[in-house]
Structure 1
């Protein structure tokens, strides 16, 4: 069962990503790759994979403090195998990214996520650092006062 994203994210909606889990420092996002998500090797483009990992980590960070937004400070991604859906996979087959909050302070979240293909094989893994921001800050370009630190 898909959950609503608590923030309007046009790019995520454009890709067709769904939120499947959002609780206790964990999240799961899914995507059924379409032809336009593929690269020249006919597998899911690395940028789509990285976006899924970024969103999985961000939602894991937000799941413990949903009234705040997060912005990506740093992200490292390792690709292990092509992210593809088998040609004979059932119609609902999807890529799945599972995010986990590893540690947080009042201002920062340290996370990881793994992207799996339709057979449950790990395709990519990422770690990321996110800054918690008040929702109004996320849409304002002027400098904002910092959140309190631990």
Structure 2
């Protein structure tokens, strides 16, 4: 397979592989930011923690953790199928292990597709705090849907 290198002699810059994903609904309600790297097929979801994200003992609510991991794993699964068209899919299964609690600062979710086929993708995700401490892990199965 030939290697394509972007030449400094070209007049335009190489295409930016990073793309913001803006979904109505849940993203607007929770306030996270989603960025796709179409070149690598990866996704990063970031949330700056606010009081409304905390549970009654003052730490990041487990439901918000699950939401962030579902979003990052789902977008990564979508990129597994097609990095450019961002096909629709549904979550078949999402298992989460809660490791530590976060009280403040940004949290960052990342994921990696580990396999799959024409309509199913398997993805592992992690949620970390701004210092890189692991907060939660996830394993998910996602199904591509038409339409």
The answer to whether residue 101 in structure 2 is matched with residue 82 in structure 1 is yes
User: Secondary structure of the residue that 1:120 maps to in structure 2?
Assistant: coil
* Unaligned ranges ≥5, structure 2: 1-17
Distance 1:37 1:130 in 2: 26
Distance 2:21 2:109 in 1: 15
Q: Greater Rg, structure 1 or structure 2?
A: 2
The answer to whether residue 124 in structure 2 is matched with residue 112 in structure 1 is yes
The equivalent position to 1:42 in structure 2, one of 58, 64, 77, is: 58
The answer to whether residue 92 in structure 2 is matched with residue 73 in structure 1 is yes
Q: What is the TM-score with the length of structure 2 in the denominator?
A: 0.79
* Unaligned ranges ≥5, structure 1: 86-92, 137-150
The answer to whether residue 102 in structure 2 is matched with residue 102 in structure 1 is no
Distance 1:127 1:119 in 2: 23
Shift >6 Å, 4+ stretches: none
- Cα pair 1:73 1:131 within 8 Å, conserved: yes
Q: What is the TM-score with the length of structure 1 in the denominator?
A: 0.77
- Cα pair 1:22 1:59 within 8 Å, conserved: no
Partner of 2:25: 10
* Coordinate RMSD, CA, aligned: 1.7
Post-superposition shift, 1:77? Answer: 0.3
Count of aligned pairs between the two proteins? 126
